[in-house]
Amino acid sequence: MLFLTVTGRNDVVSNMPSGNRSYFYPSVSLGFIFTELEFMQDQQVLPFGKIRASYSQMGQAGALYATRTLFTSKEESEGLSSGFLDNEFAFPYQSYPAFTLQSTLLSDGLRPQNVTSYEIGADLRFYQNRVGIDYSYYYVNATDQIFSVPLAASSGFRSEYRNAGELESKGHEVVLSIVPIRSSGGFEWEILTNFSQNKNMVLELAPGVERAQTGYNNFTSVGAYAYSGHPYPVIFGSSYVRDDQNRIVVDSRETVAGEPNPFYGMPLQGGEEIILGKVNPDWDASLTNILRYKGFTFTAQLYYSKGGYLSSGLNRLLRNYGAAAETEDRETFQVLPNTAKGYLDPATGDLVNEGDNDIEIQKNEDYWSTVEWNITESAIFDKTMLRLKEVVISYDMPQSWFNNIFISSISIFANGRNLALWTDYPNFDPESSTAEGNGIGAFEYVSLPNTKSFGGGLKITF
Amino acid sequence: MKKHISIFSLLLLMLFTFSCSDEIMDEIDTDPNNPTDVPISMLMSGCTAATPYWVTGTTLAWFSSIFVEQTAGAHGQMRDADRRANINSQLSENSWAFQIYPRLLPDLKIIIEKGSEDGSEDGKWIDVGIAKILQAYTFLASTDTWGRIPFSEATLGAENRKPVYDTQESIYTAMLNQLDEAVADLQKENISTTGGEDYIYGGDSDAWILAAYSLKARYANRLSNIDATGSAADALAAAANGFASMEDDFTFDNWSNDLGHENTWFQEENERRHHAISVTFYDILDGLNDPRIPLFITQVNGEYVPAQNGTSEEDQAGTIYSRMSTNVIYATAPLPIMTYAELKFVEAECHLRKSAPDAAAALAAYEAGLDAALVQAGVETASAEVYMAQPEVLPIDAENLTTDMIYTQKYIHLWPYGSVEAFAEWRRTGFPTLTNPFEAPRRFPYPQNEISGNAENVPTVTAYNGVWWDDGTED
């Protein structure tokens, strides 16, 4: 009826600096099946009910070899690269090896990070298990989070690996199962739903640290960052200039230095990089319908994800090379909808707003390959989507068919995965990602999308 | 009883764990691939390749070439640069924030510390001298490019994460002195055994001394707008000990045909193809019937078709505009950092500018420079003679030599590999008259990396403000 679990654990790790190698972390969890109480036993409404609460701490060490700044060999990926050229000047060259001081500053001040979690929940099953709810709420607080924090390169290092932040994560998870029909004729309809909402926030970064890069995408300047007081992670990059009504401002200067301005009527780029959107969805849910009748089972699963942003390298490239459908019309003169016009004062960098935009432009190569190309924000898109994730039809053959042989069951099935996708995200699957680690879901750069697949099979159990 | 056993075994386990000592842990935590210390020789190889690669031969050079109209942008980022569409903090990201500050400068500093007194390889004075020359060159070319930059507090790591930006004046003073120091170091009693890992001069200290003096002459001459006669005297004094012939050139000539080790401009022209011939450059050559035209420039349908900076068409394919010839841009083409010919042009100018001008000495230096430049370009003797027979190219009377003639020949000579220098020289001398309708930048913007990570120290300045030696004010 009442379950209490207490654990204690002490880790001693070599990959932390001397003095910070040993750390202890406990956990307590309590579960109570209240339907086992005497007065609850003789009722049919709620045959099973459990509530639970837990508290746990978890210590975590950093990466390997992260306590001393080292020299790395300039081989392959560590060679010289211009950032423009595809090939690097690799060493050893002419039989001479080369080393360079690594560009991440490491120190022996590193401490293990600590994650404290609280969770409460309930598991309730009603009416012969025909309705079930499993709910939990969690709150996670991560202190001394270890990040690679960007440094001004003039310090001699591009980043510093250090304890730099406090993050919190909280959310709800609900699993609801309902069996609306369970007929005596053998027909059953079951609905399973799953809802989760998770909010990650950066509560605080170490003094002097404005933002910490957590994901990096090659080829483009966009990054995923932990930014104090904001959801975690956020995409950071160059942006449009906007007026006080949040409208994009286009360049109103017909001429520059007496020459026609090639970017007249096209969006202006802001001077500094800003937060362009949070990466993670607001919430997601799945809905699974299962129909069973005399050995036949039909299952269909829908998945919906709301919100979150992805930086799309693919769309940026398609536009740059004029391969996206939206770049097809390069002739029609048009005013960019819902925009203002103005220019940036060359002396102060401030916006001189000249009101509603009435400048007709062609969306030509200058527009796509220069203006839009240089503005990271132009290729940041909402990831909201609905997906038909899986459909399965299966048939379990009646036992009576093979009662006297050594086969115990036979079933055949046909399935299709990822059959349909509804989204406003352009030209691609918003669930694709090319980044690694904490940047997952922030960038996509010509990666392999989810594939549609069909299958079928025969399952024989002996 | 059961409880007792489990507590006992837990204690046992803890004891066992703690018995693993700190020393053993340190050993486990030692990366077998990446050492905590390396000898100078393994840093020297990287530095003597990285300096020409990053400071002379890639991003800075390509953008400078566009700004000073030695080439015109025919595609992508370079065409955008010509139209001033990307003169922003991204432009300097690669050179500053990936290459020069976090990679090259720390390694050079470590070589100097290790080889100097009390360093772990005390007495390797040739290495120290080489590193000081490369460091001086890198800081001077960088301050020419950006203006005020972190210097005195740069690359201190955890000691200073936000270095101040020093004045260009203080960087010039310190680095011109450092070139003298480097010469002194190269003459000290030495235990260096540097050879092939110095990809530039193979550890030849005499050659490095000539390079140090020649660089000093170049950068002393840069201060002509600050102190006309003093800078001329300083430059001439240094030049007297500089390169004596083309054989002494400060050049990276160690490329090879294998992938990645090719000349950087060759790789650019093969893969990215951003540059066409600029009309500004072409007209200067054409106006003097320059025999270098067929050697430097390709034809399109039998004609020379240079591109107008700022308004050129997109032409990555190279079907519209003339491009740099394969005589100049090829896989193993040497990458000059500073040449004898350039030194002679510096001397010629200084002889005209010094407090007691000496036209004859100026003409002699100019002619020597021009001769060398033509030989280097592969011009046949007969064609060179015809070219130099023109008085606008080589005046008969020394009194007719003008600074414009010197600037012209230097500008042509610095094409295409000396564009970083040519961009600085345009800002100092106003030569050539640019034809891009859009105003040219007079420095590179600071990178986003510094604006984000060192905001309190980054000067507020636009790319169109001159640097100190340009207009006399720092920002």
CB A95 within 8 A of CB B56: no
- Look at residue B316 in the predicted model and tell me its pLDDT: 92
Out of A209, A232, A265, pick the residue that ends a domain: A209
- Look at residue A399 in the predicted model and tell me its pLDDT: 81
Beta carbons of B156 and A273 less than 8 Å apart: no
Instruction: Using an 8 Å CB-CB cutoff, list chain A residues near B45.
Output: 91, 93, 96-98
- Look at residue A82 in the predicted model and tell me its pLDDT: 67
Give me the mean pLDDT over the A11-21 stretch. 87
> Higher model confidence: residue A336 or residue A434?
A336
Residue A232 lies in a domain: no
Distance from CA of B186 to the nearest CA of A (A): 23
Beta carbons of B254 and A365 less than 8 Å apart: no
Q: Nearest to residue A454, comparing CAs of A376, A393, A402?
A: A393
Q: Is the pLDDT of residue A435 over 70?
A: no
Q: Report the greatest alpha carbon distance in chain A.
A: 96
A264 plus A338 within the same structural domain: yes
User: Considering only A83-92, A289-298, A344-353, B254-263, which range has the smallest mean pLDDT?
Assistant: A83-92
CB A252 within 8 A of CB A268: no
- Look at residue B1 in the predicted model and tell me its pLDDT: 45
**Could you give the count of Cα atoms lying within 13 Å of B248 in the half-sphere of its Cβ?**
22
Give me the mean pLDDT over the A104-116 stretch. 89
A125 plus A85 within the same structural domain: no
Residue A193 lies in a domain: yes
Distance from CA of B446 to the nearest CA of A (A): 11
A360 plus A395 within the same structural domain: yes
The 10 Å CB-count burial string (b at 16+, else e) for A329-338 is eeeeeeebee
Instruction: Using an 8 Å CB-CB cutoff, list chain B residues near A110.
Output: none
Instruction: Using an 8 Å CB-CB cutoff, list chain A residues near B310.
Output: 259
Note down the domain range covering A185: 1-61+111-209
Q: Is the pLDDT of residue A128 over 90?
A: no
Distance from CA of A343 to the nearest CA of B (A): 13
Please state, in angstroms and as integers, the Cα–Cα distance from residue A172 to each residue in A36, A143, A461, following that order: 26, 21, 40
Beta carbons of A157 and B157 less than 8 Å apart: yes
CB A193 within 8 A of CB A185: no
Alpha-carbon distance B113 to B119, whole Å?
A: 6
A250 plus A346 within the same structural domain: yes
Percent of chain A with pLDDT over 70: 95
What φ, ψ does residue A346 adopt, rounded to 5°?
-60, -30
A294 plus A369 within the same structural domain: yes
- Look at residue A146 in the predicted model and tell me its pLDDT: 86
A52 plus A73 within the same structural domain: no
- Look at residue B10 in the predicted model and tell me its pLDDT: 60
Q: Nearest-CA residue of chain B relative to A80?
A: B50
Residue B436, helix vs strand vs coil: coil
Beta carbons of A21 and B42 less than 8 Å apart: no
Out of A190, A209, A228, pick the residue that ends a domain: A209
Q: Is the pLDDT of residue A215 over 90?
A: no
Interface test with A, best of B18, B91, B103 (most A CBs within 10 A): B103
A204 plus A246 within the same structural domain: no
> Higher model confidence: residue A84 or residue A191?
A191
Instruction: Using an 8 Å CB-CB cutoff, list chain B residues near A262.
Output: 83, 85
- Look at residue A290 in the predicted model and tell me its pLDDT: 96
Give me the mean pLDDT over the A268-293 stretch. 92
Q: Nearest to residue B318, comparing CAs of B332, B305, B333?
A: B305
Alpha-carbon distance A350 to A124, whole Å?
A: 60
Q: Is the pLDDT of residue A76 over 60?
A: no
> How many domains, chain A?
3
* Predicted-assembly ipTM surpassing the 0.85 threshold: yes
Residues 412-441 of B with CB under 8 A from A: 437-439
Beta carbons of A71 and B439 less than 8 Å apart: no
List pLDDT tens digits, range B288-313. 999 999 999 999 999 999 999 999 99
A344 plus A274 within the same structural domain: yes
List pLDDT tens digits, range B118-165. 999 999 999 999 999 999 999 999 999 999 999 999 999 999 999 999
| Burial (CB count <10 Å: 0-12, 13-18, 19+), residue B435 | middle
Of the options 3.50.50.60, 1.20.58.220, 1.10.10.10, 1.25.40.390, the CATH number for the domain spanning B40-261+332-439:
1.25.40.390
Beta carbons of A150 and B14 less than 8 Å apart: no
Alpha-carbon distance A320 to A323, whole Å?
A: 8
Q: Is the pLDDT of residue A86 over 50?
A: yes
Beta carbons of A70 and B34 less than 8 Å apart: yes
A194 plus A287 within the same structural domain: no
Beta carbons of A271 and B88 less than 8 Å apart: yes
Q: Is the pLDDT of residue A336 over 60?
A: yes
What φ, ψ does residue A133 adopt, rounded to 5°?
-125, 130
Sign of the CA dihedral running A142, A148, A150, A153:
positive
Residue A328, helix vs strand vs coil: coil
Contacts of A162 (CB under 8 A, 6+ apart): A107, A109, A110, A146, A147, A149, A206
Question: Average per-residue pLDDT in chain A?
Answer: 89
A175 plus A281 within the same structural domain: no
Q: Does B273 touch chain A (CB under 8 A)?
A: no
Spans of chain B below 70 pLDDT: 1-20
